[in-house]
Homo-oligomer: A and B are copies of this chain.
Amino acid sequence: MEIDLKTLAQQVGGRLDGPADLRIDGVAGVEHAGPGQCTYVAHPRYLAALATTRAAAVLLVEGVESPIPAVRVEDPARAFLLLLEHFAMPRAELFPPGIHPSAVIDPSAVLGTDVHVGANAVIGPGCSVGDRSVVGATSVLLHDVEVGADCLLYSGVQLREKTVVGHRVILHCGVVLGSDGFGFAPTPTGYHKIPQIGRVVVGDDVEIGANVCVDRATAGETVIGAGSKIDNLVQIAHNVRIGSRTAISAQTGIAGSCTIGDDVVVGGQVGLADHLQIGDRVRIGAKSGVSNDLDDDATVSGIPTRPHRDWRRQQAHIARLERYASEITALRRRVEALEKETGAAPTENS
């Protein structure tokens, strides 16, 4: 995948500002790039690092001096993205079409064309996998699982019975879809399990991070809407419904029957109580604890959450509590002195 700097400039639509035949064999950030790699500087604060970088070349805006060969572009971050795509290992190299002989595939399962099934993967009765999709090594599709076309299921993925996965979905290692929801009826002798007979439905273009758990609905569906992106180690409980293009950061947990809108952004380690209605375009700060419904476009933080601006002011007040306490003490003494001065008795004990 090595290219010369002239080709690189053409690929990113930039102006060559260095030797045309310079060989570039990879990309990296400015601080950690090595010889032969192309880096980028998208913000003036990284210009200092450019002076000492070991990179062979840099993507840079016009008008900024560069100590190393450069390709001049309007948007270095966007150009870098194009280079990442160039240097990415093609999916077909990692996962060439074909069924590994060690995979266990039930005769009733239906596989599309050019599907990859990795070593020791297991595809159970009634399952289907769409064209060009990948089922990674040791992954398990239990029973009546539907996976669309152009999906990428890495290794160690567990899809419980009746799970439905759309097209172009990426499921990272260790993802569990369709585990039983946490539903128990208390009885005098202990908990009675409430059967969880619904399913999980994942829309097109969804990406779900490593070791994420999505529970099946008690009845009906737990839904992850099209284009939503879920980071590692997130917990999504039974009957949750997540809209489209919503992004959820790592280790967040969403309790049962929450409905989350479109284009929502949830920070890391957030918790949502059950049965909440979260509107569209809501933004929830990291580590927040949400216990109330949130209207469209709300931006909230804190445990429990409040509008982000209020939360910042409260944090400032909390940081000043020592001063407030001192002022109260000082005021009490001054009031005592005034009372002595004027001969007034205190109106009551504080």
- Interface positions of A (Cβ within 8 A of B): 26-29, 32-33, 78, 81, 84-85, 87-89, 94, 100, 102, 104, 118-120, 122, 124, 136-138, 140, 142-143, 154-156, 158, 160-161, 170, 172-174, 176, 179-180, 182, 184-185, 190-195, 197-198, 205, 207, 209-211, 213, 215, 218-221, 227, 229, 231-233, 235, 237, 239, 244-245, 247, 249-251, 253, 255, 268-269, 271, 273, 286-287, 289, 303-304, 306, 313-315, 317-322, 324-328, 330-339, 341-342, 344, 346-350
Q: A324–B325 contact, CB under 8 A?
A: yes
* Bound CA–CA A325/B316 (angstroms): 11
7 A-B pairs besides A182-B229, A235-B268 with CB distance below 8 A are A26-B219, A78-B185, A136-B142, A211-B211, A271-B286, A306-B319, A327-B332
| Alpha-carbon separation in the docked complex, A73 to B247 (Å) | 42
The answer to whether B220 and A28 touch across the interface, beta carbons within 8 angstroms, is yes
Q: Which 4 residue pairs across A and B have the least CB separation, nearest first?
A: A330-B350, A317-B321, A158-B173, A104-B119
Asked if A330 and B349 sit within 8 Å, CB to CB, the answer is yes
Question: CB distance B321 to A348 under 8 Å?
Answer: no
* CB < 8 Å neighbour of A341 from B218, B315, B328, B344: B344
Q: Which residues of B lie under 8 Å from residue A339 when comparing CB positions? A: 334, 338
Instruction: Find the B residue at minimum CB distance from A234.
Output: B233
> Can you list 20 pairs linking A and B with CB atoms under 8 Å apart?
A29-B219, A32-B220, A81-B185, A87-B197, A88-B197, A100-B104, A120-B120, A122-B138, A173-B179, A180-B207, A193-B207, A215-B232, A232-B235, A235-B251, A253-B269, A287-B289, A328-B331, A330-B349, A336-B347, A338-B338
* Interchain CB contact under 8 A, B174 and A158: yes
Which residues does chain B contribute within 8 Å of A335, judged by CB atoms? Answer: 331, 334-335, 338
Docked pose: A23 CA to B341 CA in angstroms: 84
| A174 pairs with B172, CB closer than 8 A | no
Instruction: List chain B residues, Cβ under 8 A from A161.
Output: 89, 94
**A338 touching B331, Cβ below 8 Å:** no
Closest to A265 in B: B186
Give the shortest distance, in Å, between A184 (CB) and chain B (any CB): 6
Whether A346 contacts B334 by the Cβ 8 Å rule is yes
